[in-house]
Amino acid sequence: MDHQNAGYLNVYGPPSASAQFPYSPRGNFAPVSPYLNFDPAYLAQSGPEWIFPEGASRQRGRFELAFSQIGGSVMTGALLGGFNGFYTGLKETAAAGHVGSVRRTQMLNYITKRGAGIGNTLGVIAVMYSSFGVIFSLVRGVDDELNTVSAATAAGLLYKSSAGLRRCAVGGALGFSLATAYCLWTGRDRLQQMFSPSPA
DSSP code per residue over 111-128: HHHHHHHHHHHHHHHHHH
Instruction: Rule CB under 8 A: say whether 64 interacts with another protein.
Output: yes
Are residues 89 and 107 in contact, defined by beta-carbon separation less than 8 angstroms? yes
CA–CA dist 129, 153 (Å, integer): 8
Q: Which stretch binds another protein (CB under 8 A): 6-14, 82-90, 139-147, 171-179?
A: 6-14
Q: Within 10 Å of residue 127's Cβ, how many Cβ atoms?
A: 17
63 binding another protein? (CB under 8 A): yes
Q: Which is nearer to another protein, 40 or 71 (CB)?
A: 71
Q: Does residue 35 touch another protein according to CB under 8 A?
A: yes
Determine contact, residues 61/137, Cβ cutoff 8 Å.
yes
d(CA 171, CA 163): 10
The region of 19-27, 113-121, 140-148, 166-174 touching another protein under the rule CB under 8 A is: 113-121
Rank residues 33 and 198 by Cβ distance to another protein and give the closer one.
33
Looking at 27, 68, 144, 146, which residue binds another protein (CB under 8 A)? 68
The reply to whether 70 sits near another protein by the rule CB under 8 A is: yes
Label residue 69 exposed, middle or buried (CB < 10 Å: 0-12, 13-18, 19+): middle
Residues that bind another protein (CB under 8 A): 8-9, 11, 33-35, 53, 56, 61, 63-64, 66-75, 108, 116, 119-121, 123-124, 126-127, 130, 162
